[in-house]
Structure 1
């Protein structure tokens, strides 16, 4: 699935809370925290890429619980 924005991640993964920050000019940080406390974090310059990386890690995590 291609995620275009943070809202699409929130819709797909309702057990997770997301925080998006532009930490510098075109450098983004996305932090995801599951309602059970598990966390995932990515930083990078290519926004769609970090969304996909985050989503992929969440998919892997959700398969293994």
Structure 2
């Protein structure tokens, strides 16, 4: 659900996971990049369009 303290939550993270295979664009991706956190995302239609594997994130099968 929606959280107003996403910045604080991301600051406490070492890595951000975005495993969704069906969400074309999750704001969690932009939030992770804005917080300078590494991103691990599913190699699905959405994330594969803007995450370059081992460049600005890691895509997993």
Smaller-chain TM-score bracket: under 0.3
TM-score (norm. length: structure 2): 0.26
Structure (1 or 2) with the greater strand fraction: 1
Structure (1 or 2) with the greater helix fraction: 1
